Chains A and B, each alone.
Chain A
Amino acid sequence: MKHIVYLYEASSILGSRREALTCTLRNLRQVRQLDYTFKFGAIWRYSDLILEGIVLTLQLSLITMIIGLALGLVVALAANSPRRLMRVPARIYVEAIRNTPLLVQLFIVFFGLPTIGIKLGADTAAVIALSINMGAYGAEIIRAGIESVRRHQIEAGRALGLTSYQTFRHVVLFQAMKAIYPSLASQFVLLMLATSIVSAIGASELFHQGAFIESRTYRSFEVYTLITVTYLLITLGLRTVFAGIYWAIFVRRPIR
């Protein structure tokens, strides 16, 4: 209940801060024809907080990616199962998650669950909501990966006298990994950007650090511009790393 009030107030504080800013500007213009001067320097003192935010965001993304993919694997296998009892719930889960906003899912976990006795901290709720969300997208990616390996590749493996485990290990796995790697990499970037949403419940990550710096400096525009640019740098960095990994594993790979 405390959180609800907090959120409600936070939102109205934001609005009133913006109004105050607009008002000040109007007065300045009227009185002295002054323009707003951008002061990014004031934020520089908080650079260590931003660095900490980058680490927190990457940590959160990595944890939810791992849990989400594990969940996604289970769901993908269930969705491919010949049993209706497993297939139907898996489909419902994937459709329900993919057709509702992450923010509402987050609110259900963080604000809704406590009313039925499940109380969670902001960070835990963030990990749970993001993982459940990622699970649905992960399931779709893994399903596509399994379907991408052609049937005759498996038959060829068996014809060479490989056991079904060896076929999976040496024939299917590598091809499936290569097929889904690009989707996984771009999904990771999307997930990393989506983690900014959990700042809405005050979970610790980069955007939340930004909100904290804003509350100290009152430099809303500068702070959020800087934070947004920081996300861009993380995205570009991640894309470079992922392209490098792809090259090292799938392109440069010696023939065994």
Chain B
Amino acid sequence: MKIRSPRYNREIPQRYRLEAAKDVEGRIYFPPRVSYPGGEKAEPIRLSNRGKVITYTVIHVAPAEYSDLTPYPVGIIELDDGARITAQIADVDPAKVHIGMRVKVEFRLLRAEGEEGLLCYGYKVVPE
């Protein structure tokens, strides 16, 4: 097991478990923040793992770490609790992706990072 960078490590709660925060006025923040405009405190929550695609694209020209994957769909997903995330849409023919499509969030391998090729995980969505 390789040692992960602190930068990767500190994002694990959000990326692996969808940890977020809800402020006193009910607004959801993902990832959680240091302070909130709505009040001093915000309650820790976990985001819903189901939602729908509100817009999307299919990436044909990608940065190096994703170039083996092209063409791959990416979308903005509105989860059932109202929070929004940007995620790859996996296990689907890119031509079948559409606005309004129901999806669920899954824990997936995303990419290999740096010269040592450290494996980086996070979320993708797949058709519900």
A, B co-complexed: no
Chain B: residues with CB nearer than 8 A to chain A? none
Chain A: residues with CB nearer than 8 A to chain B? none
